[in-house]
Amino acid sequence: MSIHARETVVGQPIEGLAPRVLVIGHGMVAQRFLELIDVHAGLLCVDVLSEEPRPAYDRVGLSNYFVHGDEQSMSLAPEGFFESPHIRLHLDESAVSIDREQRTVLTSEGREFSYDTLVLAMGSAPFVPSVPGVNAEGVFVYRTLDDLELIRARAQGARTGVVIGGGLLGLEAANAVSSLGLTAHVVELAERLMPAQLDLGGATMLRRRIEEMGIEVHLSTQTQRILETEAEGVVGLEVSDVDGPRVIVAELVVVSAGIRPRDALAREAGLEIGERGGVVVDPWCRTSDPAVFAIGEVACAVGKTWGLVAPGYQMAQVAARQIKAMTEGLEAETGDGFLGADMSTKLKLLGVDVASIGDAHAAEVGALELTWSDPVTHIYKKVVVSDDGLRVLGAVLVGDADAYDSLRPIAASGVELPGSVEALLFPATGAIGIGPNALPDSAAVCSCNNISKGEITGAVVDLGACDVAAIKACTRAGTSCGSCVPMIQSLVHSTLERQGITVDKSLCEHFAYTRRELFDIIRVRQLTKFSQIIREIGQGGGCDICKPVIASILSTQAPAHVLEGENATLQDTNDHVMANLQRNGTYSVVPRLPGGEVTPEGLIAIGEIARDFGLYTKVTGGQRIDMFGARLDQLPEIWRRLVAHGFESGHAYGKSLRTVKSCVGSDWCRYGVQDSVGLAVELELRYRGLRSPHKLKSAVSGCARECAEAQSKDFGVIATEKGWNLYVGGNGGMRPRHADLLASDLDTSTLIRYIDRYLMYYVRTAERLQRTSVWLESLTSAEESGLAHLQRVIIEDALGLGDELEADMARHVGSYADEWAQTLEDPEKLARFRTFLNSEENADPLIQYVPNRAQHRPAVVSVEIPSRDLTEVVV
């Protein structure tokens, strides 16, 4: 049967009849094309053939499917997109042949579609080398969601999976295999991973990182055959390298040895095919037949195929523009053609940042390479510059790809370097970092969608887009891989500020100030009570955001007990009961063990108290002992006993100093060069109880071996032969950051003076819940890095604040008293620890325990405790 059987001439639609566009393939590029030709305007009649049973989805994010398992979230077609009368999507139907004479396409369903314009968007197919056993059960490719489902099914009960191919997709596949719980092997013929994108140094670093994660990498290794049995399918892989042949036992094999354009149909139809495959197109994506276009990975443009989504999107845009012009009767080439694309990529492979920019292999004549490689942190950075050193040509980044955002646009636009190369690679070393403002308007910010800096700032100025979401909606920038979103955010802010528009940084609806501004206002006006503060400079009744912030500010400026007077109403439950709320409503208690030092008697006391109150105990990451499961009413009695044994509050509950970890230091350790425990105890006792914008952690290492991990702390100290090195702004947790070296070889009193200044400057100027790492970065300006700023303020005392900051710290140190001991002395404060106002009952039926290893854990409400009775209160 024939569909749309009628006569038209391309570009000259018969009156009342729209030209017919037939699209073969419905991948990411095809979907983008459909969105760009304005199908819903009704000027065209579009049919789309999709061999897959579902509309286009995000193939770039394929490996995430095993993580979230949500097919829906990967779909690319906007809701209702195919509900228009002008477009029809035919799922599970592929093209079988093309008749260019008749302008018809025959499908797998035996139907014949006629077209005025044909768009080939079949993409590419995995290349499967013809090794023996390649058709065995348990051998897969890695391209579609269906492939993933097959891999998942086979992985059930399997222990080992091998991926043939160590390119970008192969590593993605290895990630998928690994995330299914299998031991993954990667077999690569070349001498390095990702040979297309990485140089040997970067690839070696990547290999180390990947091997650390338990994935075995076999380089310069050829697959000889896949071993199979009739009953079980794949049982292994025979490979060979310089040492000869060997066998990798595996139940699952994924072949990812490159891709080939799916040009067979075009070949049979007599269209011109590139030397290495792909349908040859001109810059407007027209094939050798002007009625046939090819876009995406099936096309051979500028002499080669393009295996990334960004160039595919550019082709979609060129072809859509050209076809729209043709429907309006224009035959001439319209707009810019596709003349090649930036093949830079940035991705996270198995949790490792990997980026390749421009001329990564230094192919340009005279190109110079600047390489930096840190075997300890496994970070590799290489920048390729022109022979005069003025232009960045390319880069390879492994382990830390933060520099990608600034390097890629500079490389792509060919502008002269606005600073030193070091500043690009190491923005935190004190050199001037390069912000988006230094980029020319033509620099592509979003390379997936080819959106320039000028288009983004234009959307802010002309279209009133004032946040990332609006920019995404107006320009599509940031909607694909998302790696440019931080840069978009920063561009939006700087553009708004340049227009004189204030970006709202109000703390909450009660205060139109930032924490930093509040700190200064409260100090200058000498305000001491929340009720007074909200009356004079705020509005309403306060909330769970501003109240703890004000409490923290007041604790620095007007030190008083955490529960003194109005302070009590401001505290989060943790500060209010001086313990840490756990998921079943009980609390955990952490006594301070300065520097992690504890006597045998102390350990026994903690053990006895935990035993007597039935508390679960665990050693924390901060070298202390956490006791879990205390009911509200039990807290005072637990403290009474801890205080009697000489313990005090460890402030594990507060936005305050937690611990100062230490290694054992020169007292015992044969490598130690300074007394790290002694210093850690001194620092912990000095800064204990200091309330701050967020929690503070510290550590002291007695030698460069760094056993205390001081460089992951808000402030860390490492002993040297001559004294102490002070590091600041480190962080573990969600956003790990290595601390920066603020000053070296300090004597102890200078060290403490610098830390006093550093901490008080942080307490004064950081925003709510801003850790020192983020705060330090926020201090970066056009003139200096955050670290350089801190060095100026702390070491050079450029702001003249040094004495004031030290005096503030001295006041804190002088006014410190143990919050637990003080509470035990005060019957009014103790009254807060009643379970119920009207009953002596203390039991809560929802607090129950089940045995867990040698101790116990809270029972899960509604599973292990039926909660029906407690929730279904009828009012």
Partner 1 sequence: MSGDWNRICTLIEMLPERGAACLVDGYQIALFRIEGDTVLAVGNFDPFARANVISRGIVGTQEGRWFVASPMYKHRFDLRTGTCHDCAEVCLPVFPVRVDSGVVYVAVPEE
Residues forming contacts to partner 1 in the complex (CB under 8 A) are 509-510, 540-544, 546-548, 568-574, 576-577, 581, 583-585, 632, 831-832, 834-839, 841, 844, 846, 861-862, 867, 869-871, 873-875
Kindly state the smallest distance separating residue 629's Cβ from partner 1, in Å.
13
DSSP for 433-445? P--GGGS-TTSEE
> Are residues 187 and 163 in contact, defined by beta-carbon separation less than 8 angstroms?
yes
CB of residue 285 vs partner 1: minimum separation in angstroms? 48
What is the separation, in whole angstroms, between the first and last Cα of the chain? Answer: 66
Provide CB contacts within 8 A for 145, sequence distance 6+.
52, 54, 57, 62, 65, 71, 74
Q: Please give the helix or strand (H or E) that residue 96 lies within, else none.
A: strand 95-99
Using the minimum distance from each CB to partner 1, give the nearer residue, 23 or 632. 632
Count of Cβ atoms closer than 10 Å to residue 172 Cβ: 22
CB of 639 to partner 1, least distance (A): 18
Nearest approach, Cβ of residue 552 and partner 1 (Å): 13
Cα–Cα distance for residue pair 122/109, rounded to 1 Å: 17
Least distance from partner 1 to the Cβ atom of residue 21, Å: 44
Residue 445 to residue 455: CA distance in whole angstroms: 9
Distance CA 599, CA 794 (A): 37
Nearer to partner 1, 319 or 632 (CB): 632
When the beta carbons of 569 and 852 are compared against partner 1, the nearer one is 569
Closest approach of Cβ 650 to partner 1, in Å?
20
546 or 625, CB closer to partner 1? 546
- Closest-CA residue to 221 (of 133, 307, 140, 162): 162
279 alpha carbon, distance to own chain's centre: 37
When the beta carbons of 108 and 842 are compared against partner 1, the nearer one is: 842
Ramachandran sector of residue 473 (left: φ over 0; alpha: ψ -120 to 50; beta: rest): alpha
In 720-763, the DSSP E strands lie at 724-728, 740-746
CB of 513 vs partner 1, minimal distance in Å: 17
Q: What tokens appear for 416 in the block?
A: 């002269």
Q: How far is the CB of 527 from partner 1 (least distance, A)?
A: 18
Measured CA to CA in angstroms, residue 718 lies from 199, 708, 722 at distances of: 35, 9, 11
Instruction: Please identify which residue in the block is written with the tokens 């001086």.
Output: 578
| Closer residue to partner 1 (CB): 363 or 870 | 870
Minimum CB distance to partner 1, residue 66 (Å): 28
**How far is Cα 527 from Cα 566, in angstroms, rounded to an integer?**
13
Which DSSP string corresponds to 557-594? HS---TTSTTHHHHS-HHHHHTSEE-TTS-EEE-B--G
Name the residue nearer to partner 1 (CB basis): 275 or 841: 841
When the beta carbons of 580 and 772 are compared against partner 1, the nearer one is: 580
At 720 the three-state DSSP class reads coil
Judged by CB, which is closer to partner 1: 243, or 872? 872
Distance CA 689, CA 705 (A): 30
Residue 184: strand pairing partners: 161
| Token representation of residue 729 | 């702004």
Which DSSP symbol is given to 155? H
Nearer to partner 1, 147 or 633 (CB): 633
The least CB distance from residue 233 to partner 1, in Å, is: 46
- Closest approach, Cβ 544 to partner 1, in A, equals 4
Q: Please report how close the Cβ of residue 823 comes to partner 1 at its closest, in angstroms.
A: 15
Strands (E), 150-288: 160-164, 183-187, 216-218, 222-229, 233-241, 244-249, 252-255, 259-261, 279-281
Q: Which is closer to partner 1, CB of 583 or CB of 853? A: 583
Closer residue to partner 1 in complex, CB, 490/835: 835
